[in-house]
């Protein structure tokens, strides 16, 4: 079983709590604007494979060992089901 939150403007506060958003230099996910567009939302996430970027609509997943990683919505919906 995993925990996940979809990255949207409406869920930004929830994402901040869920992912412990801070600075990459502190080993925490960090927000950014994709393509420099202030209307778009993104999150850089340090993972075991390196820094990955999630953009609006992606899911932020907390794995079984507490690790975070992004997942595209289409893949998420094909892979996971709600408990």
Reported as a pLDDT band with limits 50, 70 and 90, residue 48 is confident
Q: What is the pLDDT of residue 83?
A: 78
The residues near 50 (Cβ < 8 Å, ≥ 6 apart) are none
Residue entry with tokens 């996971």: 80
Q: What is the model's pTM?
A: 0.91
Number of domains in the chain: 1
Residue 16 predicted with pLDDT over 90: yes
Which structural domain, as residue segments, surrounds residue 63? 3-79
Spell out where the chain has E strands: 3-6, 30-32, 42-47, 50-55, 59-62, 68-71
Reported as a pLDDT band with limits 50, 70 and 90, residue 20 is very high
- Say if CB 71 and CB 61 are below 8 A apart: yes
């Amino acid at each position: 079983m995993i925990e996940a939150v979809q990255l949207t403007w409406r869920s930004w506060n929830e994402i901040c709590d869920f992912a412990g958003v801070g600075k990459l230099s502190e080993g925490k996910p960090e927000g950014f604007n994709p393509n420099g567009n202030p209307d778009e939302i993104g999150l850089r996430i340090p993972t075991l494979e390196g820094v990955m970027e999630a953009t609006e609509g992606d899911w932020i997943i907390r794995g079984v060992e507490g690790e975070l990683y992004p997942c595209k919505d289409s893949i998420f919906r094909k892979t996971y089901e709600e408990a």
